[in-house]
Amino acid sequence: MGRYSTTLIKKEDNGKRRRRTTIFPVIPRSSDDVYIKTTTSERLDKLAYTFYEDVSLWWVIASANGIGKGTFIVPSNTNIRIPDKNNIIDFLIETNNTR
């Protein structure tokens, strides 16, 4: 699931289609979230593949932890919250479809 897959497409009066503005809400905590502490430098896309089997979900981990601006690297000895995939997908669909 890419960052924009839950964003609705809007048809304008002139017939052109465009995506609506995507909202990236604060990702809520869940009892199903996983917490890890990196022992070496890690990449957000590799963490996404490890936990979600989808490198395109790197932004979920970055957003949940307030990291990733300008780099995919997570320094060693960093505590990271990995949001539960099922909860995140449902939450993003609900957020972008009800606005």
User: Per residue in 49-93, pLDDT tens?
Assistant: 999 998 888 888 988 998 877 788 999 999 999 999 888 777 777
Band (37; pLDDT cuts 50, 70, 90) = very high
Give the pLDDT band (50/70/90) at residue 30: confident
Tally Cβ neighbours within 10 Å of residue 57. Answer: 23
Q: Between β-strands 9-11 and 17-19, what pairing exists: parallel, antiparallel or unpaired?
A: antiparallel
Is the distance from CB of 20 to CB of 93 less than 8 angstroms?
Answer: no
- pLDDT mean over 27-41: 91
Domain boundaries, the chain: 32-86
Within 8 A by CB and 6+ apart from 70, the residues are none
pTM of the model: 0.69
